[in-house]
Structure 1
Amino acid sequence: MIRDLLIRGLITGVVAGLLSFGFAKTFGEPPVELAIAFEEQQAHAGHSHHDDHAHGTTTAEAAEAEPELVSRDVQAGLGLITGVVVYSAALGGIFALVFAFAYGRLGALRARATAATLALFGFVTITLVPFLKYPPNPPAVGNPETLDLRTILFFGVIALSIAAAALSVSLFRRWQARRGSWNAAQIAIATFVGLNAAALFMLPSFNDVPAAFSASLLWDFRIATFGVQAVLWATFGLLFGALAERLLEAKRPSRMTLQRG
């Protein structure tokens, strides 16, 4: 049974990757192209200014760029779709394994509801919470000297968010029998929000956006990136839930049977 769910998770991941690629290509690439144009313009202006005052070389010589290892067309086409599909397929396999563990342990939730709950859990903990503190930046935004630190902190926020979610679920299960599902859910949600709010408040912030960079362009890029993740997780919740339901709901196997499969 686990193998069957894993196959469905991989299939869902590939479909989610293709849909995410389509969204990214439609809504994410235009801001990226404009950001790259801004970066090239700033680099050209910087080289021209430096050469005119220091070396006396021509503008054409200053504008000459090193050859690209991978062309922009490949990056935006084959490279993008390959990266997105491989990532989403791997995530789909992980999602299927988590589903196999959670199915039957979330009360009376059936397969579709379980998948939707897990997808919402993943979207909030892995996408929404980190986005609130360290939203993605397009080309021309970000200080290379702080890249390593920002990367570490980004994944640190994800780890803290998952830990806060695990603690909240534990509290919900503990308080459910004493206070009822509604009160237990309020306690769990308050715990999750409070822990994440405290963590995000204490972590350092970075303001690496150039003054001349368009605020609307930055907003468009970040919303497009957020939308790609929303498409990804929505596909997991809806498509995997439908596939898993067809596999599991016919005979409604017990949790023990699922674990042995």
Structure 2
Amino acid sequence: MTARNFLVRGLLAGFVAGLLTGTLVISTALGGLVALVSAAVVGRIGRLRPAATTALVSAIGFTSLALVPWFKYPAAPPAVGSGDTIGERTADFFVFLLISLVAAVAATALARQLLTTLSTYATVVISAGAYLLVMVAAALAMPTVNELGDFPADTLWGFRLSSLFTLATMWGVIGVVLVGLVGRLDTAAVAEAERRELAASL
């Protein structure tokens, strides 16, 4: 192995290790936030059990913080885009992200109100439709980024699909782990409450 190949492999290994470490740190922090939000809304979204509430929060989080923003401002490699507009493009992304988050919270609050008078199906359709309406309007109103230049389209598309797959995997793992943990704790708590109730009735 030449010194150059050794150096390239070392840099690649360092990049992969850094990427995995960064993803792990971000996933842990994000998982903690999802857990806190889920704990705060348990019992406040219809009659959902804690595990179902956690699953719903994870699904809403993925949709509003990852999926919808990806459609408007998909990830791009560092070589794509002008360095002069990176600040403006970053600001546009975070503004759209904030709009999506606020719209998701508002749609959830609307669903809570509608559940008192409408069926679950009608509630989901109306609240989801309201969220989509707001986001389509925001997507049309906000600037469009078109700074691809002569970057290979297939490479760019592959990069963007990989970024979406990474986000979906991260949110999926967070949801599965939290739902599993919360479900076990809830089952244990219910069983303990039933045992105490049975003991008190004897």
TM range, smaller chain: 0.7 to 0.9
The answer to whether residue 22 in structure 2 is matched with residue 83 in structure 1 is yes
- Per the alignment, residue 173 of structure 1 pairs with 112
Match of 1:232 among 163, 170, 178: 170
CA distance, structure 2, for counterparts of residue 187 and residue 245 of structure 1 = 29
Indicate conservation of the 8 Å contact 1:111/1:249, yes or no.
no
1:225 alignment partner AA: S
Name structure 2 gaps, 5 residues minimum. Answer: 1-9, 194-202
Residue 173 of structure 1 and its aligned partner are, at CA, apart by 1.6
CA distance, structure 1, for counterparts of residue 63 and residue 52 of structure 2 = 16
- Per the alignment, residue 222 of structure 1 pairs with 160
Residue 174 of structure 1 and its aligned partner are, at CA, apart by 1.6
Residue 74 of structure 1 and its aligned partner are, at CA, apart by 5.6
Residue 75 of structure 1 and its aligned partner are, at CA, apart by 4.8
Comparing 136-145 and 175-184, the one that deviates more = 175-184
- Per the alignment, residue 184 of structure 1 pairs with 123
Deviation readout 1:137-178 (Å, 9 max, x if unpaired): 013211111101111111111110011111111211222222
- Per the alignment, residue 42 of structure 2 pairs with 103
Larger relative contact order (C-alpha < 8 A, sep ≥ 6)? Answer: 1
Instruction: Using structure 2 for the length normalisation, give the TM-score.
Output: 0.84
2:175 alignment partner AA: G
Task: Tell me how large the CA RMSD over aligned residues is.
Answer: 1.8
Indicate conservation of the 8 Å contact 1:137/1:218, yes or no.
yes
CA distance, structure 2, for counterparts of residue 103 and residue 75 of structure 1 = 41
SS at the partner of 1:125? helix
2:41 alignment partner AA: A
CA distance, structure 2, for counterparts of residue 148 and residue 99 of structure 1 = 33
- Percentage identity across paired residues of the two chains: 34
Indicate conservation of the 8 Å contact 1:119/1:236, yes or no.
yes
Q: 1:72 and 1:142, CA in 2 relative to 1: closer, same or farther beyond 3 A? A: farther
Match of 2:33 among 94, 105, 117: 94
2:183 alignment partner AA: E
The 5 A counterparts of 1:53-92 are 72-73=11-12, 75-92=14-31
**Number of paired residues?**
183
* Structure 1 ranges of 4+ moved more than 4 A: none
The higher radius of gyration belongs to 1
Indicate conservation of the 8 Å contact 2:46/2:115, yes or no.
no
Deviation readout 1:202-229 (Å, 9 max, x if unpaired): 0001111122x21111111000000001
